[in-house]
Every structure is written in C-alpha cells, then in structure tokens.
Amino acid sequence: LQRVHPNVLAKILKQRTIYQNEDIVVINKPYGLPVHGGPGIKNCITDVLPILAKMLENMKAEPLHLCHRLDKETTGVMVLARSKEAAENIRLLFKTRQVEKIYWAIVLGDPDPAEGIVEIPIVEKEVQSHQSHYKMTLAPSYRLRPEDGKVVKLRKARRAEGAVTRYRRLAGASACSLLELQPITGVKHQIRVHLAYGVGCPILGDHKYSHWSKLAPQKLPELTLRRLKLEQSKARHLPLHLHAHRLCLHLGQPIDLVCKPPPFFQKTLRKLELDIAED
C-alpha cells in the first residue's frame, strides 16, 4: 500500500468501509498503513481522506476527519467523521473514555492468571545498546525491596502516564494464546508494552517489544515455529498480530462496530489451532 497511487489507496479504503451514516464513516484499517505521514512515508490515511470522501459521496463532499489513531501495524475498526463538529464530539468521547474498545491479539505464552487487569504507568525511555533507540516501557509505582521483600512506593517517573489494560484469554494452543484486550486508557503502544513487559506474553510478530535492550527479531518457541511452518531465521517477516476487533460508541444512539481479523491473522489462528467459538 506504500507504493500504490493515492486514488488506488482511497478505492481500497472505500471497499473496506464497514459502516456509514450522516456523521461517520467506519473503515477496516489495513495492515502496514500509517495514519499520519512522516519521513519516508509515501502513503498514509490522512492524505487520502479528501479523495475517499468524494468517492463515498459525490464530487463536492467535504474531506473526512480523523477521530483517533491506530498504529501502522494494527488492523481493524477505525472511525472517520464527515464534519469537524462530529470529529470533535468523537474525540471528546475517546478522551473521556466513553468509547469501548476491544482488541484481539495472538501472544506468545500463556498469561497467568488467564484474565486480569494490568495497571502500570508507561514512560518513553532511550535504550542504550549498539544502536541507541527509544521504546515505551513500564514505570511501576511500587517495587519489592531486595533485602526484606517489603513493598515500597516509588517516586513517579516524570513523564510517565497512567495506563490500564484489561485482558482475557479466549484460547490457548501451540505455546501461544489468543487474548481479548480492553485498553481503558490510550497511551502509545500501551497494549504491546503491558503484554510484553507486564504479563510476559509479547504479541506474535512484535519484534520491537520482545527484547528490551536490542533490536532483533522475536524468538519463537519450537512448537510455534513448527505449526507456522517457519524457520527462526524467517521470524522477522512475521506481522504484528494485533487487531482492533470492536468499537462501541454513543452518537445519539449506540453504534456497535465489529471487524473480522485480516486473512493473515485468521490463517495464523488456524495454523496454531487457536479455536474460538464462532459468535
């Protein structure tokens, strides 16, 4: 999608429209497509919003507006507004946590307990390694004192943001699990950091947060590699398996939006034999 013409990209997004009314247009965001532009980014969603608006309505349509963002590698439900007012209303709903967001992720390992809430603040830090880079990481409020195992409160990291994620295991097999996640807050890379560093179950294909001090492909268990018919040397090509599955918001009336995971995600579920009840 980085190499297609903007008109072609707008057409693809039009085909991926799952819901629209007079206020909003909802798309199923494709993998690997950034929401915003930046250095080295040819195509992004923001750039084609005026074209998409015209394709959906008529030649005189106002450009669509972004209401929230998803990471480049995240797929699934994304809401666009037809007017500035609608966009501001929806942004306010996100800001005041009145939008229910449900994600699905395939992770390595088995969370213990199988469901729970991770409530650990997150901060961005520079990682000193052979090539210095930045990552989000945990900034816990408490730690155990090594000499007597007593719980001590830590001073809050200056730029740390409170972050809360609910998780629940839906299925487990092949040294992996399928989790349902509900981020209560919206900190950058929150789900990825809470799962990798808080629960100890990094998302499949999350090469950034599978190690702390190095930039290296994720190391996969033997059983997982066998089921995926993959060699460890090829693990770096695995995409991030994180999908915005469902979004519920109130705009006059409740709107409940659901997106099926992309084909690669569904294929991985089948290969790993992560069976979930069809609902």
CB proximity list for 203: less than 8 A, separation 6 or greater: 105, 106, 107, 108, 191, 192, 195, 196, 209, 240, 241, 242
Same domain for 177 and 147: yes
Same domain for 14 and 42: yes
Residue 45 confidence (pLDDT)? 96
Same domain for 228 and 198: yes
Any idea what DSSP says for residue 236? G
Same domain for 111 and 89: no
Q: How confident is the model at residue 279 (pLDDT cuts 50, 70, 90)?
A: very low
Say whether 156 sits in a helix, a strand or coil. Answer: coil
For residue 250, is it within any domain? Answer: no
| pLDDT over 90 (residue 3) | no
Q: pTM for the full model?
A: 0.93
Q: State mean pLDDT over 61-70.
A: 92
| Active site positions, annotated | 71
Question: Phi, psi (5° rounding) for residue 145?
Answer: -75, 125
Percentage, residues of the chain above pLDDT 90: 82
Q: State mean pLDDT over 226-252.
A: 95
Taking a C-beta distance cutoff of 8 angstroms, is the pair 176, 206 a contact?
A: no
Same domain for 227 and 111: yes
Same domain for 124 and 58: no
User: Which residues on adjacent β-strands are paired with residue 144?
Assistant: 151
Residue where a domain stops, chosen among 96, 120, 155 = 96
Same domain for 86 and 117: no
For residue 194, is it within any domain? Answer: yes
Residue 245 confidence (pLDDT)? 98
Q: State mean pLDDT over 64-81.
A: 96
Residue 278 confidence (pLDDT)? 55
For residue 275, is it within any domain? Answer: no
Same domain for 146 and 92: no
For residue 230, is it within any domain? Answer: yes
User: Which residues on adjacent β-strands are paired with residue 249?
Assistant: 255
Same domain for 178 and 136: yes
Residue 148: which domain range? 106-237
Say whether 88 sits in a helix, a strand or coil. Answer: helix
Mean pLDDT over all residues of the chain? 93
Same domain for 39 and 154: no
For residue 127, is it within any domain? Answer: yes
Q: What is the pLDDT of residues 164-220, one digit of tens each?
A: 999 999 999 999 999 999 999 999 999 999 999 999 999 999 999 998 888 789 999
Q: What is the pLDDT of residues 120-153, one digit of tens each?
A: 999 999 988 777 888 999 999 998 999 999 999 9
Residue where a domain stops, chosen among 45, 76, 96 = 96
Any idea what DSSP says for residue 197? I
Token reading at 140: 């816990």
Residue where a domain stops, chosen among 77, 96, 115 = 96
Cβ-based burial of 229 (10 A; exposed 0-12, middle 13-18, buried ≥19): exposed
Same domain for 82 and 127: no
Q: What is the pLDDT of residues 248-263, one digit of tens each?
A: 999 889 999 999 999 9
For residue 267, is it within any domain? Answer: no
For residue 253, is it within any domain? Answer: no
Same domain for 23 and 78: yes
Residue 128 confidence (pLDDT)? 83
Q: How far apart are CA 31 and CA 110, in angstroms?
A: 25
Q: How confident is the model at residue 277 (pLDDT cuts 50, 70, 90)?
A: low
Distances (CA, A) of 200 to 15, 133, 209, 234, 272: 37, 22, 11, 23, 19
For residue 206, is it within any domain? Answer: yes
Residue 95 confidence (pLDDT)? 92
CATH code, 71: 3.30.2350.10
Structural domain count, the chain: 2
